[in-house]
Amino acid sequence: MSEASQVAHPPPWERRAEKVSVIIAKEIVRDIARQRLAPGSILESEGMMLRRYRVARASLREALRILEIHGIIRIKPGPGGGPVVTRIDSGDFGRMATLFFQALDIRVAELMETRLILEPVMARLAAERRDPERDERLRALVRAGFDAGDADEQWRADHAFHDVILSTPGNRPLNLMAQAVRDIFVERVPNMAVTESCREGRRAHAAIAEAIVAGDADEAERLMRDHMHEYADAAALDGTLLAETVDWR
């Protein structure tokens, strides 16, 4: 952050009665967002941050540690290092969410139910928001799923297919939540064997892709809902999986 881009911060006595490190962490995030700092940007030196935020070194370092834990920054060691802005992704958001899920004793079955709600909505949005490049990517992933030589390769193609749909631009909170829930779920579900139901799943992907490409939002949503119900039925074949508590990862 340059001196010219510094934003005035309230003096310590005007800040809310919160832990100082938490307040400073919030202010650093606000500055990152205001300045639209790209991933890989190195924040200013510790000395400059101490002057900017007017706090003790211990509070600043704790604030940076909070942001590092939540995946907002990473600390680059060595000369020329320091706090570096990271790319925000669903993995970091999901890991944070699992802490709360475990504390609330949320079960894997509830994650599956959440996917049943969110993914059909995302398929509808994908059909409504036309994107030729994305359409070709979906078709390529459908082909990759059918042409895959082994179960792992097929699983990767199927996983990427859903990822493309959940990444449909236009509503970033929905993108982040839908992808995080999917990430948490699939991390806990072992790769399913290549069975007839898996082949049916790839045929479902082909139909969903064509509905999205055609811009048929109703059909894309319906097909994705049917597909996700079939996936839920397959996951339920494991008698204990859906009853497990989501643990903090």
Whether residues 214 and 235 fall in one domain: yes
In this predicted structure, the answer to whether residue 198 has a pLDDT above a threshold of 90 is no
| Domain count within the chain | 2
Task: Kindly report the average pLDDT of the chain as a whole number.
Answer: 88
Whether residues 97 and 79 fall in one domain: no
- Tallying the residues shown for the chain, one arrives at 249
Whether residues 151 and 46 fall in one domain: no
pLDDT at 3: 43
pLDDT at 8: 52
- Sort 110 into a burial class: Cβ within 10 Å, 0-12 / 13-18 / 19+: middle
- When pLDDT is cut at 50, 70 and 90, the band that residue 168 belongs to is very high
Nearby residues of 101 by Cβ (< 8 Å), 6 or more positions away: 111, 184, 245, 246, 248
In this predicted structure, the answer to whether residue 129 has a pLDDT above a threshold of 90 is yes
Nearby residues of 158 by Cβ (< 8 Å), 6 or more positions away: 145, 201, 202, 205
CA angle 201, 206, 207 (to 5 degrees): 95
For 99-113, what is the mean pLDDT? 95
Range of the domain at 177: 91-243
Helix (H) or strand (E) holding 74: strand 73-76
Whether residues 136 and 229 fall in one domain: yes
Whether residues 61 and 105 fall in one domain: no
Query: 3-class SS at 115?
Result: helix
For 26-42, what is the mean pLDDT? 96
Domain termination residue (choose one: 85, 100, 120): 85
In this predicted structure, the answer to whether residue 40 has a pLDDT above a threshold of 80 is yes
In this predicted structure, the answer to whether residue 239 has a pLDDT above a threshold of 70 is yes
pLDDT in tens, 136-147: 999 999 999 999
Task: Establish if 248 belongs to a structural domain.
Answer: no
* CATH number for the domain that contains residue 160: 1.20.120.530
Whether residues 57 and 178 fall in one domain: no
Whether residues 239 and 125 fall in one domain: yes
d(CA 85, CA 68): 9
